[in-house]
Structure 1
Amino acid sequence: MPTKLTEFESLWIPKINHILETEIGKDTDQKTLTEAMTYSVNAGGKRLRPLLTLAVLSSLGDKIDHTLLKASCALELMHSYSLVHDDLPAMDNDDLRRGKPTNHVKFGAGMATLAGDGLQPLAFQWLVDNDLDSETQAELTLALAKAAGPHGMVSGQADDIEFEGTRLSLDGLKKLDRNKTGALIRYAVEAGLILGRIIPEKRGSLLTFAEKFGEAYQIYDDILDVVGTEAEIGKPVHQDAGKNTYPNLLGLDKSYGMLHQTVKDAQKALAQAGQDLMIDTSLLNDFTSYFKNKDEK
């Protein structure tokens, strides 16, 4: 992994974790609910989404204070809510997440549902319960609502359920993944641009990077279900039979080829963003090292 990203993670992941470990309990008053909410949020994870927001701010040269850090962490609450609900018996009925029992296995389906129900509005609370100006608060809230809602992540989840057992076209699969996985990753970058006060007309190339990064992330996740191990990825593998995934649609070799091209497209957009915004994008480029092609293992 590139040194710049390693150093960035070493600096910011402990700070992200501290926010997530200490701030949730301040806004809850039911003991078991608090335990269920914090259980999933603090069960591990790469913290990729808040890291992307912070990396955008860092690349823009902004000083990251507690307000910006906590606002960036709001996305991790939304992401965790989506995982808790995705694992429920009524959805994927998974028993393991990040190497630990899923929330409903630990607390029961009812309390797990409420844990997700609590995390979702708390994410919005963290975007506005601060000293950011009202325009920034409103733009962040609208952007996250769109990314997480029925034209974003929830739409992707609905497609995932509705079309399981059927074979989508490549365009249909891209739409599903763009919403289910890509929408929150795109928002992570968008949030950095909003917090960094970059005007909408200057955001295009960096948002294209975010979209391509999100696409690559899902392709890679699909590949890992085929070639990875439970120890490596923290959840059962070979779970995607009958689902709409890139290996199931294209085969493994073509999926690797699409991953390689998508990462190249992300890097191209990032190079353009560097010119458009006159910034050093090398830190953001290092994030693409997450995706290992088959000859890089």
Structure 2
Amino acid sequence: MNRLNEQFEKYLLDNLPKSKSFHPHFEKALQQMLVAGGKRFRPLLVLSVTDALQPLLLRNALPVAYAIELLHTYSLIHDDLPVFDNADLRRGMPTLHKTYDEVTAILVGDALNTHAFFLLADAPLPADTKVEIVKELAREGGIEGMIIGQAIDCWFEKKKLALDELKFLHIHKTAKLIAASLKIGAIICNEKEIAKKLYDFGIDLGLLFQIQDDLIDALQDDTKAGKTTSNDENKNSFVNLLGIDGAMKSADELVEKLETGLEAFDTKLKNNLKKILNNYLYRHKNL
């Protein structure tokens, strides 16, 4: 675990969301998927960019990174619901609707989503910076990003999409939140020029991430993946459209593009991102 990961994990565990009431399990459910772990990929992107551009702002960036992890976790909880993927396992644990019930899972997801924006509003950053971050996360995690991606994914299940439509789906459902995480690191540091370059880099990174997830679903079992797999048979996945070999080839092409993109960043930013991305750029090679 690297330095930024350790800092973030400690911050998360010290600031778990609380809900004091006489409800028998809601607070435990609220925290369960957070303490279960996860890759922390999106918050680490925020912190890596901030640390490279303005390291003195790293502590101020922690609640922002945490907010993005809350938003991401809410999306996973809802994605696992019976009405969506009906998954049994997430982060190596039973999904919330399996441990408790659907009502609890829906409300926990709702709570993490709204609490994310409370954390952003309360972050120790200038007001105009916080407004920009709220706008970015609400847009990319909302109707112009993750939500329309999910809507397309569900509506067109069992209906084959063309490759450009499939890319649109996954750019919105997955890539935009990853791209926003990189861009938000630059917003924290008031680095507007690099923010756009990081966002574009993040779209390619998000597409790679999705292709790799599709390959994991096809090639790994639940235990190794830590989540329900073999769940994409009727979905519009890169594996279903391109086959295993075609998806692998697309992943390799994106890795090459991302490696070129990394070289365009200054040394500290490039090195910080490499520390995270080296764990992910080639993970499809090991399936």
* TM-score class normalised by the smaller sequence: over 0.9
Native 8 Å contact 2:85 2:231 kept in 1:
no
Amino acid at match of 1:69: L
Q: CA offset at residue 279 of structure 1? A: 4.8
In the alignment, which of 202, 219, 241 is matched to residue 249 of structure 1?
241
The residue aligned with 1:180 is 173
* Cα distance in structure 2, aligned partners of 1:179 and 1:125: 24
* Cα distance in structure 1, aligned partners of 2:99 and 2:184: 33
> Is 1:34 equivalent to 2:27 in the alignment?
yes
Q: CA offset at residue 88 of structure 1? A: 1.0
1:190-249 deviation digits (Å, cap 9, x = unpaired):
1101111102x3433222211111110000010111122322210122111011111100
TM-score (norm 2): 0.93
> Is 1:156 equivalent to 2:145 in the alignment?
no
Amino acid at match of 2:144: H
* Cα distance in structure 2, aligned partners of 1:84 and 1:183: 18
Native 8 Å contact 2:43 2:69 kept in 1:
yes
The residue aligned with 2:94 is 101
Alignment root-mean-square deviation, CA: 1.8
- Greater mean alpha carbon deviation, residues 65-74 or residues 130-139: 65-74
State the secondary structure of the residue aligned to 1:214: helix
Amino acid at match of 1:233: A
Amino acid at match of 1:146: R
Q: CA offset at residue 14 of structure 1? A: 3.0
* Cα distance in structure 2, aligned partners of 1:202 and 1:218: 24
Structure 1 residues 19 and 60: CA distance shift in structure 2, 3 A:
same
Structure 1 residues 279 and 12: CA distance shift in structure 2, 3 A:
closer
* Cα distance in structure 2, aligned partners of 1:184 and 1:202: 17
Structure 2 unmatched runs, 5+:
none
Structure 1 unmatched runs, 5+:
1-8
Native 8 Å contact 2:212 2:284 kept in 1:
no
* Cα distance in structure 2, aligned partners of 1:203 and 1:88: 34
The residue aligned with 2:121 is 128
Native 8 Å contact 1:178 1:214 kept in 2:
yes
TM-score (norm 1): 0.90
> Is 1:282 equivalent to 2:277 in the alignment?
no
Q: Give the number of equivalent residue pairs.
A: 284
The residue aligned with 1:75 is 68
* Cα distance in structure 2, aligned partners of 1:204 and 1:138: 17
In the alignment, which of 205, 214, 224 is matched to residue 213 of structure 1?
205
Q: CA offset at residue 280 of structure 1? A: 4.3
The residue aligned with 2:223 is 231
Amino acid at match of 2:60: T
Amino acid at match of 2:13: E
Native 8 Å contact 1:223 1:252 kept in 2:
yes
Please show how residues 183-198 of structure 1 align to structure 2 within 5 Å.
Answer: 183-198=176-191
The residue aligned with 1:146 is 139
> Is 1:55 equivalent to 2:48 in the alignment?
yes
In the alignment, which of 110, 114, 130 is matched to residue 117 of structure 1?
110
Native 8 Å contact 1:74 1:127 kept in 2:
yes
Native 8 Å contact 2:77 2:105 kept in 1:
yes
Amino acid at match of 1:131: P
The residue aligned with 2:281 is 291
Native 8 Å contact 2:183 2:196 kept in 1:
no
Q: CA offset at residue 25 of structure 1? A: 3.6
Amino acid at match of 1:154: I
1:120-176 deviation digits (Å, cap 9, x = unpaired):
011011111132110011000000000111110011111110010011010111011
Q: CA offset at residue 295 of structure 1? A: 5.2
State the secondary structure of the residue aligned to 1:207: helix
* Cα distance in structure 1, aligned partners of 2:140 and 2:183: 10
Native 8 Å contact 1:208 1:269 kept in 2:
no
Native 8 Å contact 1:220 1:291 kept in 2:
no
Identity, in percent, stands at 34
* Cα distance in structure 2, aligned partners of 1:260 and 1:157: 26
* Cα distance in structure 2, aligned partners of 1:159 and 1:57: 33
The residue aligned with 1:270 is 262
